[in-house]
Amino acid sequence: MREEKKNVIAGLDIGTSKICVIIGKAREDGLDILGSSITSSEGVQKGVITSINKVSGRIKRLMKNAELDAGRKVNKLWVSIAGSHIQGKDNQSFISIKGEEQIISKKDVDEALKKASSIALPRDREIIHTLTQDYIIDGQDQIKNPVGMRGAHLQLKVHLITASSGCCRNIEESVKNAGYEVEGLALQPLVSGISTLPPQEQELGVALLDIGGGTTDLAVFLREGLIFTKVIAVGGNHLTNDIAVGLHISREEAEKIKLRCGTASVDYLNKDEYLEVEGVAGRGNYRVKRSALVHIIQMRIEELFELVDLELKSSGYKGLITSGVVLTGGSSLLPGVKEKAEEKLALPARIGYPRIDSSTKIFSPVYATAVGLIFWGMKVRQELSLKERLDVKLKEWFKDFF
């Protein structure tokens, strides 16, 4: 098998229900998907690793399949991080521009970024993302790139994402034990947004809802950047549990019947019908009305969107979501979920598909995070190589002086 090349990149999404990986190759004008693999998850609860052994076993098998599919090996992976331990916090820095001409340099911007990222954190937490929100020069806001502009003061507003250090190390350990290296961690809703939201939508204001198995991740994007995140501890697995309890059937049977006959509202049932389900512990098969199943799903979905609405209102961003809501994650495939979102949130909604060739097998909201990891990885690599090129140039320039 061929070795990893510089432009080959892999995204590993460790979810509560499934673990999947995509291997891609960056082109100048886009991305080629080389291979992928997906498997059911084990050792993950509500988006957080609870067994390193189980997760690394899954990653090992998954990677073998994906590498066979892609026809090449990879060593490093961009990996998703999620869970209720994730917190978002706004911060800002303020620096005075030195020099007579007061031209803002790259060094000034780096200093502003360093200052804005300096917050007191408990020993068990760390910053995983410093996301630039706005540059303000002498009171003038919405400056896209301050380098080269003139001003006495530069103000930088950032959104910091912090995570539990233990959770970060558990991801790294699971990947390492499987024989790979973490190239970087990236927040699940951030990368799901990057893969599904065109820049115009991000510019206008949009809420992304990744309804997965263990959690629903909410992220608000405005002016092409993420400004708010919240993890809600309700996902598709809760629907399955409710169905199992409500219909007195096993979780496995509940999952099957949810996927086969579930919808988000009784209003979308043209006619009622009876379904045959398998009772628990040898109780035999019996018949239930489809409307009984849908009623259970509807109650939980409505509760979920009510929680989302509360979060959006209390964040203060609800009024800024001009583009509406985009739904991703496996549970967004439940028929009628888009309409329920529109009804409960009073915003237009759509299902978010990754912005890749629609004929590939990974063109699904289930792969939104994994595709986003590749986009994110490409962006970070590009920024780093630009920085390295600049550093090399600077070093060469300095050589002439000393």
Distance CA 386, CA 402 (A): 24
How near is the Cβ of 266 to ligand ATP at its closest, in Å? Answer: 16
DSSP letters, 207-235, are EEEEE-SS-EEEEEEETTEEEEEEEES--
Neighbours of 285 (CB within 10 A): 8
Interface residues with Mg ion (CB under 5 A) are: 15, 212
Site string for ligand ATP, 259-278 (x = CB under 6 A): x--x----------------
Does 372 contact ligand ATP by CB under 6 A? no
Does 85 contact ligand ATP by CB under 6 A? no
In this complex, which beta carbon is closest to ligand ATP, that of residue 52 or of residue 222? 52
Q: Is 118 exposed, middle or buried (0-12, 13-18, 19+ CB in 10 A)?
A: exposed
In this complex, which beta carbon is closest to ligand ATP, that of residue 156 or of residue 294? 294
Whether the CB-CB separation of 24 and 43 falls below 8 Å is answered with: no
Partner from Mg ion, ligand ATP, none contacting 330, C-beta within 5 to 8 A by type: ligand ATP
In this complex, which beta carbon is closest to ligand ATP, that of residue 104 or of residue 209? 209
Does 212 contact ligand ATP by CB under 6 A? yes
The one-letter amino acid code at 237 reads N
User: 174-200 burial by CB neighbour count: b if 16+ within 10 A, else e?
Assistant: bbeebebebbebbbbbbbbbbbbbeee
Among 8, 11, 16, 137, binds ligand ATP (CB under 6 A): 16
Does 330 contact ligand ATP by CB under 6 A? yes
Residue number of the CB closest to Mg ion reads 212
Which residues inside 118-137 make contact with ligand ATP, applying CB under 6 A?
none
User: 328-341 burial by CB neighbour count: b if 16+ within 10 A, else e?
Assistant: bbbbbbbebbbebb
Cα 201 to chain centroid, rounded: 17
How near is the Cβ of 372 to Mg ion at its closest, in Å? Answer: 11
Place of tokens 């990368």: 191
In this complex, which beta carbon is closest to ligand ATP, that of residue 81 or of residue 222? 81
How near is the Cβ of 329 to ligand ATP at its closest, in Å? Answer: 4
Among 95, 143, 333, 351, binds ligand ATP (CB under 6 A): 333
In what side-by-side order are the strands of the sheet with 30-40?
30-40, 18-27, 8-14, 76-81, 181-187
Which residues form the interface with ligand ATP (CB under 6 A)? Answer: 15-18, 41, 47, 82, 212-215, 235-237, 240, 255, 258-259, 262, 329-331, 333-334, 366
